Structure formats: structure tokens, C-alpha cells
Amino acid sequence: MDIKVNVREAPGDCYVVDLSGEIDVYTSPKVKDAIGELIDRGVYHLIINLEKVRYIDSTGLGVLIGGLKRVREHGGSVNLVCTNPQIKKIFDITGLVKIFGIFETEDAAMKALA
Amino acid sequence: MNPAAERDAAAEIVELRVPCRAEWVALVRLATAAVANRLQFSIEDIEDVKLAVAEACTAVIQHAAHGEFIEVTCEAMPGALQVRVRDSGHAAGTQSLRLLDFEQARGAGLGVFLIRTLMDEVSYDVHPDSGTDLRMVKRLAGRPG
């Protein structure tokens, strides 16, 4: 089990972080490092694509919340792309749907950043 | 209990003992999911059980005064699956995870909330010498509590 992280530049001072695999206590540090590195470089508008994520736990949610807190200090934002019903359910029951913008497609997430 | 019945009953308990380290949580998750699948839980309920058990293991790894092992026992009950997660093998002078510490541990809140939300019953026993015993029950959909 592993997590794959791919970072790519998108239009409008925005970066997309593609995640693929499972985000748990073992793999979440890798995600945290990738997001932290972008923020350290001054990237404050992020889209995190969870379409290929099969599983996320509280440590993964913690990493996303931590990233959001950091970018908000600079007037930034984090939008999520998520279609997996089980993962959406986790965002629902934890109330994180009210904190993150969660979108069905990357296009929609990008438009919402603009 | 006759020998055949005893064998059948024994076959409904699955025990797993893994090192108390993050890289082993995925194995616990997969094994628990396999047991829940065998008991014909729905895919959604299997995901709930997987997450709750993983959160319990994560809490032990992150917030307990590190024991050597995590012991997980999955037991088929009538219309339900009971999972027990225990931290064990504490070094001399260390303490096991206590409910109060767990609930109040910084960063543990979300994991505890998920366990309580996703499972139908959650309870703890704290044994000062042998560790904490977290018991969770998920009932098959439609079965009364």
C-alpha cells in the first residue's frame, strides 16, 4: 500500500496535487510534505485531486486541514476534487464539507478558485 | 459444547497481532475488511469498520505510551461483528492509552469522533498492567441493537 503524489502547475497561480492510493497514518506524511513544500514556495491556491484516492483516515484529513489553515493565512484556498462516495461520506460526517470546497471535476474546482 | 460445535465457534474468531507501527495498520484494515466481508456486511459498512479499526490502531500508535504490539480480535456475533483493539507489551514504567487521555489527546478528536460515529457500540477497558482494550461492535444492517 502506498500513496502516489504528483504536483503540476495549473493556470492562474494555482497548483494541482494529484493523489492516488490510500492516505493513512503511514502515508500521510508524504502528502503533508508535498503540500507543505508548495506553500513554502508561496503557492496559496491549491486543488487537491482525490479522484484516485481509495481511502482516507483522520490523519489524512488532518493534513488537508493543516494545509488549508496555512494557505488561509495568506488569503489562499484549497479546493478538493472528490467523487468517491465513501470518502465524501467522511467529509460529510466530520463536517469538513463546510470548510472545503468539494467538487466533482477539476474544472469545477478550478473555476471556483477564480 | 460438542467438539464440532466448539470447532465452528472457534472458527468465527480471527486474531491478529502486529507491531505497534504505522506501516502495519494497512494489514489490520485489510484483514478486518475480509472478516466483515465474510459476514456479508455491505460494502459501505465494511468501509466503516475498516476506518474505525484503523483509527483505533492509529490512536494507539500516536497517543499511547508505545506498547510493542497491537492485538486485534474480530469476533462474529449473532448479526454483528465485534472488534477489539488492544495495545500490549508496554515497557516498564509506561502507561497504556486511557480513555480520558485518548479523548483529550491533541489531534485524536477526529479519530475518536469517527470511531463513535461509524460503529454501533464503543467501549473501553483499561488494564494498568496489560494495556487498553477498545471494544467496537458493528451490527448487520436491519439487525436490532
Summarised one tens digit per residue, pLDDT across range A49-82 is: 999 999 999 999 999 999 999 999 999 999 999 9
- A83, B36, B40, B125, B140 from B43: Cα distances, Å: 16, 9, 9, 30, 11
- By C-alpha distance, which of A104, A108, A100 is closest to A60? A100
How large a percentage of chain A has pLDDT more than 90?
94
Chain B closest CA to A76's CA: distance in Å?
24
Q: Per-residue pLDDT tens, chain B, 145 aa: give them.
A: 555 555 555 568 999 999 999 999 999 999 999 999 999 999 999 999 999 999 999 988 887 665 789 999 999 999 999 999 988 755 444 444 544 455 554 456 889 899 999 999 999 877 666 667 899 999 998 666 6
What is the grid cell recorded at A77? 484556498
Nearest Cβ partner for B54 among A24, A62, A86 = A24
Q: Is the dihedral of CA B78, B76, A21, A77 positive or negative?
A: positive
Mean pLDDT value of segment A35-50? 97
Q: Across all residues in chain B, what is the average pLDDT? A: 81
Measured in degrees and rounded to the nearest 5, phi and psi for residue B95 equal: -115, 155
Contact A57 B55 (CB under 8 A): yes
What is the span of the domain harbouring residue B50?
Answer: 16-122
Residue with cell 464503543: B122
Identity of residue B10: A
B5 in any annotated domain: no
B144 in any annotated domain: no
Residue A30 has pLDDT above 90, yes or no: yes
Q: Are A81 and A109 in contact (CB under 8 A)?
A: yes
Searching chain A, which residue's CA lies closest to the CA of residue B58?
A25
- A44, A52, B145 from B110: Cα distances, Å: 25, 23, 25
Q: Select from B20, B45, B49, B51 the residue whose CB has the most chain A CBs within 10 Å, as the one to mutate to test that interface.
A: B51
Searching chain B, which residue's CA lies closest to the CA of residue A87?
B47
Q: What total number of domains does chain B contain?
A: 1
Q: Are A112 and A80 in contact (CB under 8 A)?
A: no
- CATH classification of the domain holding B20: 3.30.565.10
Mean pLDDT value of segment A82-110? 95
Q: What is the predicted pLDDT for the residue at A109?
A: 95
B78 in any annotated domain: yes
ipTM: 0.91
d(CA A26, CA A5): 14
Largest CA distance in chain A: 35
Contact A25 B62 (CB under 8 A): yes
> Which strand (E) or helix (H) includes residue B31?
helix B25-38
Q: What is the predicted pLDDT for the residue at B100?
A: 42
B3 in any annotated domain: no
Q: Are A18 and A80 in contact (CB under 8 A)?
A: no
B137 in any annotated domain: no
Q: What is the predicted pLDDT for the residue at B32?
A: 97
| Burial bucket for residue A42 (CB in 10 Å: 0-12, 13-18, 19+) | exposed
Superfamily (CATH) of domain A3-113: STAS domain (3.30.750.24)
Nearest Cβ partner for B110 among A26, A61, A86 = A61
Q: What is the predicted pLDDT for the residue at B91?
A: 46
Q: Across all residues in chain A, what is the average pLDDT? A: 95
Searching chain B, which residue's CA lies closest to the CA of residue A96?
B110
Please list every residue in chain A whose beta carbon sits closer than 8 Å to the beta carbon of residue B118.
93
Domain boundary assignment for chain A = 3-113
Q: How many other β-carbons are positioned within 10 Å of the β-carbon of residue B7?
A: 10
Searching chain B, which residue's CA lies closest to the CA of residue A21?
B26
What is the grid cell recorded at A26? 503511514
> Which strand (E) or helix (H) includes residue A6?
strand A3-10
B114 in any annotated domain: yes
Beta bridge partners of A19: A5
| Burial bucket for residue A35 (CB in 10 Å: 0-12, 13-18, 19+) | buried
d(CA B101, CA B145): 28
Chain A closest CA to B23's CA: distance in Å?
5
Q: What is the DSSP letter of A73?
A: T
Residue A93 has pLDDT above 70, yes or no: yes
Beta bridge partners of B51: none
